[in-house]
Chains A and B, each alone.
Chain A
Amino acid sequence: MLDIIINTIKNAGFVLVFPGILFVSIAGLLLAGIDRKVLARMQKRKGPPILQPVYDFFKLMGKETIIPHEANKTAFLGAPIVGFVSLVVIMLFLPIAGFEAPFGIEGDLVIILYLLTIPAVALIIGGSASGSPFAGIGISREMVAMMAYELPLVIVLLSVAKVAGGDSLAFSLNTIIDAQAGGELFITKWQLIPAVLAMLLVIPAEVGTQPFDVAEAETEICEGPLVEYSGAPLAMFKLNTAIKMFIMTALFSVLFLGGINLGIEGWYGIVLNVVVLFAACAVLTILCMTLIHAICARLKIEHMFKFYWTVVTALAAISLILVWIF
């Protein structure tokens, strides 16, 4: 009986505090803030404070929520929550910073691949429930964008799984981390360098930042699926985007940087690991999102699709072939 209670409290802690809701929200919002600040510095501006996304979130929480007359109320209000929950569940599968994933099982890489599509699907559901023509254009673009970045992502995951598994494919994140233990990080393997580049290009499309934000083009189709959202549901969607930034960079660090484990025992070891992981995520965010945002204008959807299915897929495929031969 006591075991059950202790386990319940432990699991509640996992979901609510450490890899779960509280940690991932703070980390995601801070990453989004760093992204905006560094972007401003790149354009020689002073830029908003790093806590700006937190202010935006709380401000939107305090605004009135308007539900349009034509909207389906349940789907309209439920969609942001579905997206948020699936993102928190992904965090429970990721073995980051030397911390054993609470839900870690065989084949969790495949589960993460499926869960990563759910926030985008939630955006599509929410947009189509709002009944606005701008949202209609936005969701059709979102679907094309999903198809564009999913293919290279799957190929990257396949090549990493092949390297980690040796003769067979290892779809377990713990196996991937164990294979990188002792400093043999996958980012240093020459066969995987094209895959690293492909993954760095998949991250901004998955998050939906500037050059690849075709679905939410605010100057063109009024933020697409989010056009009718206001107040708390909009705050949830903004939070989801920020969390996705953290999750995609954390997934990168699990796949290629061994989940950042400095190998120090004890609780301060974990704290140090988390700090280093956050720093690595910030560097990755600046490298693959802020930098591209600062130098590129928004692409058209057909250009984005073509880019991902030729250049990025080719990079990932080269890596897969190299991994299979050597």
Chain B
Amino acid sequence: MFKKMIAKSMAKSPWIYHVNTGSCNGCDIELVAVLTPRYDAERFGFKLAGTPRHADIVVVSGPITSQSKERLIRTLEQVPEPKCVVSIGSCPRSCNVFKGSYSVEGPLEKYTHVDVSIAGCTPKPEAIIEGLYKAAEILAEKREAMNK
């Protein structure tokens, strides 16, 4: 019974931790818009966690810069299992217009498994909510896989 309850709760209370790896701040603002009263992601249980230890979903925005690469890897290691990685915007996907720069070491797939990738420059808040909701469902699947 408890295992069922845990798997059910996994999809209903995903806590987000946001890592900015050299983003232009556009995606960050859209992510904040998702959490404000206008789009109200809290109705699905989303909450911004203060520390990676409390997080279920790590949201990455920005092409991975040389400065932030090490910090990103360290942050991802600190998140307890089961966890999901979500990339917001075109930058973590393909480095966007920053591709080829001497200080950009993306894309994100080089360093971790990306569960959900939300495209757009910048993606609309509706798209971000949908992507995060999909990540929450993946989270519940991962938890059930851990039981087996």
Contact = CB atoms under 8 A, between A and B. Distances in A.
A168 to B, nearest CB: 49
Contacts of B12: 49, 52, 55, 59
A58 B9 contact: yes
A63 B80 CA distance: 7
A65 interface: yes
Contact of B45 (A56, A134, A228): A56
A52 B6 CA distance: 13
Interface string B1-26: 01001111110110000000000000
Interface stretch (B47-55, B100-108, B117-125): B47-55
Interface stretch (A102-110, A215-223, A272-280): A215-223
A234 interface: yes
A62 B7 contact: yes
B42 interface: yes
B81 interface: yes
A46 B9 CA distance: 19
Contacts, number: 90
A219 B56 CA distance: 17
Contacts of A45: 37, 40, 42-43
Interface in B16-70: 37, 40, 42-45, 48-51, 53-54, 56
Contact of A230 (B2, B43, B80): B80
A43 interface: yes
Contacts of B54: 223, 226, 229-230, 234
B93 interface: no
Contacts of A226: 51, 54
A131 interface: no
Interface of A: 36, 40, 43-49, 52, 54-59, 61-66, 134, 218-219, 222-223, 226-231, 234
